Amino acid sequence: MVNSFSRSTSGHYSRKGLSYGSPRVGGHRKTWVSRSFHILVGTCLFVSFFLAMGCGYIYVFPSLSQAFHGYGIPKSIGPTGTCDVFEGSWVPYRGYPLYNSSECPFTERGFNCLANGRKDNAYLKWRWKPKNCDIPLFHVRVVLEKLRGKRIVFVGDSMSRTQWESLICLLMNGVEDKKSIYEVNGNKITKQIRFLGVRFSSFNFTIEFFRSVFLVQHGWVPRLGPKRVRSTLKLDKLDDISKDWIDSDVLIFNTGQWWTPGKLFDTGCYFQVGKSLKLGMPITAAYRTALDTWASWVETMVNTNRTRVFFRTFEPSHWTHWSDQSRRFCNVTQFPMMEPNGRDQSPFSDIIQEVVKNMTVPVTVLRVTSMGAFRSDAHVGSWSDTPAVADCSHWCLPGVPDVWNEIIISYLLADDKLTPQ
């Protein structure tokens, strides 16, 4: 419960109070200063406790929560107003989860943690609360109508696939005739599949996923350069399936999880620009080059009068000793962390923001890195389809990706471009 005031209130103050206070209190020179620190710590702990209790109340009695919302918290002004929707904290919310993965055929088994044996379920009950506004509640019929006649396209790695699954399940709840919702080629969800498209036929829209883990072209090289080079990423060429992304109403990108030495150099994959191999190019420099390629592709190929473009920043993972494959391990917690412990920062996220800032067309950056950093409780862990290999990268569904979708929907609802016909 204490976690709910993760960054702005109790977590922050009590940690500060303790880290200044405890060494002095333990020492033999009991000065007035140390005593006043003692009092400060005590006060902070008391206040934290009180806030946590208050939170528990809200959790148990939602009507109180409404009363609470009447004071102090400004009415929702949506992400296009003065509020930064990505600044905030996780608060308990009784209305979650919004769907049951076991009743949604589009959640892959690997992400359905409850079905895979997870017993605790507090992790399902946290909602993102922006500091100065609220994310509008998800009214499924309103959203279904808003999306009528539209084509929504997710492009990226498995994190995009998770978000694709989440959006379908969020929307499916509002459709009575479940048979009217189907994968257009009758395909099953698999990890390697390059295209999946789910059609909501009574609402005449599709939600599609294109697997493109680097966004740029990956190619095999027959006889180019040293023997260790087995394939290259052509940083100046967008993925060859990119022509299929253009004619859409909403385009949501991500890339980041595959930009690691293990997935690149250790498999013999190196960078290439034009005809030249870039053997010594650092990963972050290559990432920036790839994103520049993506940016000019958007600027020249996408009609942003029609298409709303989003780019999601890096999704934090919660491995211990992440960089050392042999020692890394995954400990999914029961509650969110009080402190992000540095996971709210990512060089990839910084690069995305820098590149987008420089673009000549509007692109919305979904800055999810910081909010995800607290959610050490929300990963699939051992409750996946391969329980032998714990997983602190992917998220359980329902879960964190639902919030990414609620934020996207809040942008679309505030957007005139997507007025229903």
Ligand X SMILES: *[C@@H]1O[C@H](CO)[C@@H](O)[C@H](O)[C@H]1NC(C)=O
Options 22, 180, 201, 204; binder of ligand X; rule CB under 6 A? 204
The residue from 120, 145, 266, 354 that contacts ligand X (CB under 6 A) is 354
- Interface stretch with ligand X, choices 3-11, 96-104, 342-350, 394-402 (CB under 6 A): 96-104
Contact mark string toward ligand X, 382..421, x via CB under 6 A: ----------------------------------------
Secondary structure of residue 340 in the 3-state scheme: coil
Distances in Å between the alpha carbon of 159 and those of 162, 209, 318, 394?
A: 5, 11, 15, 7
Smaller CB distance to ligand X: residue 40 or 281?
281
Alpha-carbon gap, residue 392 to 381, rounded angstroms = 6
Q: Please, what is the minimum distance in Å from the beta carbon of residue 100 to ligand X?
A: 4
C-beta of 217: minimal distance to ligand X in Å?
Answer: 21
User: Whose Cβ is closer to ligand X: residue 66's or residue 334's?
Assistant: 334
What is the C-alpha R_g of the chain?
23
* The one-letter amino acid at 117: G
Q: What is the rounded distance in angstroms from the CA atom of residue 69 to the CA atom of residue 6?
A: 18
Among 333, 353, 382, 393, binds ligand X (CB under 6 A): 333
Using CB under 6 A, which of 43, 102, 201, 202 touches ligand X? 102
The DSSP-derived string for 106-142 is TS-GGG-TTTTT----GGGGEEEEETTS-PPP--HHH
* Residue 169 CB burial class (10 angstroms; 0-12, 13-18, ≥19): buried
Minimum Å gap between C-beta 357 and ligand X is 7
User: Among residues 231 and 296, whose Cβ is nearest to ligand X?
Assistant: 296
Q: Please give the single-letter amino acid code of residue 31.
A: T
Within 273-332, the residues that bind ligand X by CB under 6 A are 303, 305, 331
Torsion sign over Cα 50, 54, 59, 60: positive
Contact residue for ligand X among 66, 80, 84, 103 (CB under 6 A) = 103
Instruction: Kindly write out the interface string for residues 125-164 of this chain, putting x where it contacts ligand X by CB under 6 A and - elsewhere.
Output: ------------------------x---------------
Per-residue 3-state assignment (H helix, E strand, C coil) for 270-323? EEEECCEEECCCCHHHHHHHHHHHHHHHHHHHCCCCCCEEEEECCCCCCEECCC
**Contact track, ligand X, 48-87, x by CB under 6 A:** ----------------------------------------
Nearer to ligand X, 292 or 344 (CB): 292
Parallel/antiparallel/unpaired status of strands 329-330 and 319-320:
antiparallel
CB closer to ligand X out of 354 and 385: 354
Smallest separation, CB 366 to ligand X (Å): 20
Supply the minimum distance, in Å, between the C-beta of residue 297 and ligand X: 15
Q: In the structure encoding, which two tokens stand for residue 384, read together?
A: 């996946």
The H or E element containing residue 412 is helix 400-413
Least distance to ligand X from the beta carbon of 1, Å?
Answer: 15
Shortest approach of ligand X to residue 30 CB, angstroms?
33
Q: 156 forms bridges with which residues in the sheet?
A: 211
DSSP type of residue 265? G
For ligand X, which is the closer residue by CB, 270 or 319? 319
Token look-up 């471009």 returns 417
* Binding of ligand X by 202 (CB under 6 A): no
Nearer Cβ to ligand X (211/318): 318
Rounded to 5°, angle at Cα 319 from 135 and 131: 20
Looking at the Cβ atoms of 180 and 334, the one nearer to ligand X is: 334
Contacts of 329 (CB under 8 A, 6+ apart): 319, 320, 321, 390
* Part of the chain binding ligand X (CB under 6 A), chosen from 14-22, 32-40, 98-106, 267-275: 98-106
**Out of 100, 132, 260, 353, the residue judged to bind ligand X by CB under 6 A:** 100
Q: How far is the CB of 390 from ligand X (least distance, A)?
A: 11
Q: Which amino acid is at 295?
A: A
Which one, 203 or 214, has the nearer CB to ligand X? 203
Binding residues for ligand X, per CB under 6 A? 100, 102-103, 149, 204, 303, 305, 331, 333-334, 354, 358
